[in-house]
């Protein structure tokens, strides 16, 4: 079986890889493997960024968008809508493969005193290990990626989640120092290979510190003193710790759209099947209803209005069902009653936007759909906006870190009494920068003076959840530490509560004896159900133990 410690990705530059297994130790010296001594870090950089960016979208626009009820699927939906996960659902192999390439980049940068590449490498290392710790908990860290040094590293021990977070803090502070000089003091930067910031050192530095801010707030419930000290340090020294505060500095990776591999995942250019990804994914009713209540213009950016509105013809004869000349479908009460008795949800007669309820049993037939095939066009439910049919576009980006998120973190820190300032001002700026990111700046003034006016700490997390559209994994992490937004499960949900983590994959359980100790450190909750061990998506890892959150 593959070993975490020495996985190597087949990168864009054609790096040869050796994946060592027990029984193959004599092959550990690979004459074809390209190491740090003969590889250009500029060629590794886009491989790492691209891999990280795609992971962010594949999670945050994929199954995490389902968990956090940004989207739901009306076909092939169990993992997305109902979190029907198990120990073969999510593997961290791809993360460690990217980390292997990233390690090579860091080593080469250190050898050649390339401070830019060294700093960037530490940021991407922090991002990847942060996601591993956030998603699974304890994981190989200190002795991970060392399989080429000998068989004793094939089964790397699982470091405590706390240790990984401490390492992230340390690496990001070091990256900030490495990137603290003027642009012209760095050399060997190839701007076209930096697909995130085009070789802009100042923007990378802001990314490092913004990520550091994120990972201090991550500890807000578990280690509030550590979180407070770290956030106070960053905010009190803005010259030393510059942050992403404007959407122009957002850490966004664009999609090229030339092939299936580099195109937006719901595009119809490479997947025109009427049961393909675009047609399966709909906006969730939870999000749609809130956006309508707030009169939020982002709804029209993210979703289409429905094709055929429904109208109840009260008093009409039984069996009345027709489309009028305005394109509205009229139905009689008996049709509505029969539908509701079968599906278990009321008909949504909204004339503009309709979202899918959470974890529907009969998702394809929702809202009187006449095409009950899985994942097809539902004329009475909002499809995603047409931009999501495209393979690329100005709004089709992987959003690794945003000014909106940073401002919301600062707003939350004010409410906790950790920093001075106005929570409302930071909140307003968080909303404003989200509007800027989605190119609807002109709608901000009316919006913030309406239903979205700041009303307290809960509003910060709710707006942060909204702003995490297409990057919903971060909203999941917020939900776990705050319990917000207050989301409920649906009839098809695997458990009566949202999941808290990914299961350790069966490959790791079978092939690394250290996984047993990590599993023993997990704390089961009342929603563990029939999971055979503490390795459950409803078990709490260190970060959540003792916090009382989210349940």
Give the tens place of pLDDT for each residue, 32-64: 444 556 689 999 999 999 999 999 999 999 999
What is the reported pLDDT for 31?
A: 40
Report the CATH number at residue 199: 1.25.40.390
CA torsion angle for 420, 543, 131, 394 (degrees, to 10)? Answer: -40
The pLDDT of residue 37 is 61
Q: How many independent structural domains does the chain possess? A: 2
CA distance 122 to 137: 20
- When pLDDT is cut at 50, 70 and 90, the band that residue 197 belongs to is very high
Of 389, 414, 432, which marks where a domain is finished?
Answer: 389
- Asked which of 180-189, 372-381, 404-413 is least confident by mean pLDDT, the reply is 372-381
**Do both 105 and 200 map to the same domain?**
yes
Q: Of 357, 389, 421, which residue sits at a domain end?
A: 389
Q: Is the pLDDT of residue 341 over 60?
A: yes
**pTM to 2 decimal places:** 0.93
Q: Are residues 175 and 61 in the same domain?
A: yes
In degrees, to the nearest 5, what angle opens at C-alpha 516 toward C-alphas 142 and 18? 50
Write the burial class of residue 361 (CB in 10 Å: 0-12 exposed, 13-18 middle, 19+ buried): middle
Rounded CA gap, 243 and 421, in Å?
Answer: 16
Tokens of 435: 């509007």
Strand partners, 331: 312, 321
Average pLDDT, the chain: 93
| pLDDT of 29 strictly over 90 | no
- Asked, for residue 551, whether it belongs to a domain, the answer is no
The residue among 254, 269, 291 that closes a domain is 254
Query: Does the structure show a pLDDT above 50 at 390?
Result: yes
Same domain flag for 245 and 299: no
CA distances from 159 to 10, 19, 123, 147, 226 (A): 26, 22, 20, 16, 19
For a pLDDT cut of 90, what percent of the chain falls above it? 87
Mean pLDDT in residue range 254-278: 96
Q: Are residues 120 and 171 in the same domain?
A: yes
Residue 143 lies in a domain: yes
Q: Pick from 72, 153, 57: which is nearest to 381 by CA?
A: 72
Residues 219 and 307 in one domain: no
Please check whether residue 408 lies inside any domain of the structure.
no
Pairing state between β 539-540 and 523-524: antiparallel
Residue 466, domain member (yes or no): no
Domain membership of residue 136 (yes or no) is yes
Domain range for 363: 277-389
**pLDDT, tens digit, 9 for 90 and up, residues 116-128:** 999 999 999 999 9
Question: Are 291 and 244 within one domain?
Answer: no
Asked whether residue 191 falls in the same domain as residue 328, the answer is no
Least trusted range by pLDDT, from 71-75, 337-341, 499-503, 510-514? 510-514
Residue from 148, 112, 156 nearest 35 by CA = 148
CA quadruple 107, 111, 117, 120: dihedral positive or negative?
positive
User: Which H/E stretch holds residue 329?
Assistant: strand 329-331
Q: What is the pLDDT of residue 47?
A: 97
Task: Judge if 122 and 178 occupy the same domain.
Answer: yes
Q: What percent of the chain has pLDDT over 70?
A: 93
The structure tokens 């061990």 sit at: 533
296 and 221: one domain? no
Distances (CA, A) of 432 to 207, 247, 468: 19, 9, 14
Whether residue 475 lies inside any domain: the answer is no
Whether residue 162 is contained in a domain is answered as yes
Q: Is residue 186 domain-shared with residue 319, that is, in the same domain?
A: no
Question: Mean per-residue pLDDT for 414-435?
Answer: 98
**Strand partners for 312:** 331
Mean pLDDT of 177-195: 98
Determine, yes or no, domain membership for 425. Answer: no
Cα–Cα distance, 211 to 233 (Å, whole number): 14
Token pair recorded at residue 60: 């945050």
Task: Judge if 137 and 204 occupy the same domain.
Answer: yes
**What distance lies between CA 475 and its chain's CA centroid?**
8
Rounded CA separation 45/108 (Å): 12
**One domain for residues 151 and 188:** yes
Question: Is residue 532 pLDDT above 60, yes or no?
Answer: yes
């Amino acid at each position: 079986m593959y070993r975490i410690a020495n996985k190597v990705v087949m990168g864009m530059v054609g790096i040869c890889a050796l994946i060592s297994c027990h029984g193959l130790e004599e092959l550990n010296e690979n004459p074809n493997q390209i190491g740090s001594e003969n590889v250009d870090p500029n060629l590794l950089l886009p491989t790492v960024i691209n891999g990280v960016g795609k992971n962010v979208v594949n999670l945050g626009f994929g199954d995490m968008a389902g968990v956090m009820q940004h989207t739901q699927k009306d076909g092939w939906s169990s993992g997305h809508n109902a979190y029907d996960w198990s120990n073969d659902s999510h593997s961290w192999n791809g993360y460690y493969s990217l980390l292997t390439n990233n390690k090579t980049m860091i080593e080469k940068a250190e050898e050649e005193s390339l401070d830019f590449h060294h700093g960037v490498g530490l940021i991407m290392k922090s991002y990847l290990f942060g996601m591993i710790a956030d998603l699974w908990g304890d994981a190989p860290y200190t002795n991970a990626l060392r399989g080429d040094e000998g068989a004793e590293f094939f089964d790397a021990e699982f470091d405590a989640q706390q240790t990984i977070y401490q390492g992230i803090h340390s690496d990001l502070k070091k990256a900030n120092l490495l990137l603290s000089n003027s642009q012209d003091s760095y050399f060997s930067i190839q701007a076209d290979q930096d697909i995130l910031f085009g070789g802009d050192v100042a923007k990378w530095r802001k990314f490092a510190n913004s990520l550091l801010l994120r990972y201090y707030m991550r500890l807000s419930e578990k280690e509030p003193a550590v979180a407070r000290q770290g956030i106070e340090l960053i905010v009190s020294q803005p010259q030393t710790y510059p942050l992403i505060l404007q959407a122009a500095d957002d850490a966004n990776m664009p999609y090229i759209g030339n092939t299936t591999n580099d195109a937006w995942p719901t595009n119809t250019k490479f997947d025109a099947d009427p049961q393909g990804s675009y047609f399966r994914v709909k906006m969730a009713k939870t999000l749609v209803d809130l956006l309508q209540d707030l009169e939020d213009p982002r709804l029209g950016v993210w979703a289409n209005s429905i094709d055929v509105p429904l109208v109840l013809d009260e008093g009409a004869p039984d069996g009345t069902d027709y489309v009028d000349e305005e394109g509205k479908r009229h139905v009689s009460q008996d049709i509505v009653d029969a539908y509701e008795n079968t599906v278990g949800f009321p008909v949504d007669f909204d004339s503009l936007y309709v979202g899918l309820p959470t974890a529907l049993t009969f998702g394809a037939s929702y809202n009187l759909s006449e095409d009950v095939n899985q994942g097809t066009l539902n004329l009475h439910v909002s499809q995603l906006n047409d931009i999501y049919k495209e393979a690329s576009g100005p709004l089709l980006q992987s959003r690794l870190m945003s000014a909106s998120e940073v401002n919301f973190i600062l707003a939350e820190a004010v409410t906790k009494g950790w920093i001075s300032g106005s929570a409302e001002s930071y909140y307003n700026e968080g909303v404003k920068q989200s509007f800027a990111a989605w190119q609807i700046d002109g709608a901000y003034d009316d919006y913030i003076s309406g239903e979205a006016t700041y009303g307290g700490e809960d509003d910060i997390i709710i707006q942060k959840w909204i702003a995490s559209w297409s990057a919903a994994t971060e909203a999941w992490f917020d939900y776990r530490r705050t319990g917000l937004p207050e989301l409920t499960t649906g009839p098809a949900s695997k458990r009566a509560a949202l999941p808290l983590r990914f299961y350790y994959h069966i490959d790791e359980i079978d092939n690394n004896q250290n996984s047993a100790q990590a599993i023993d450190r997990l704390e089961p909750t009342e929603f563990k159900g029939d999971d055979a061990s503490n390795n459950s998506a409803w078990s709490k890892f260190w970060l959540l133990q003792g916090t009382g959150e989210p349940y």
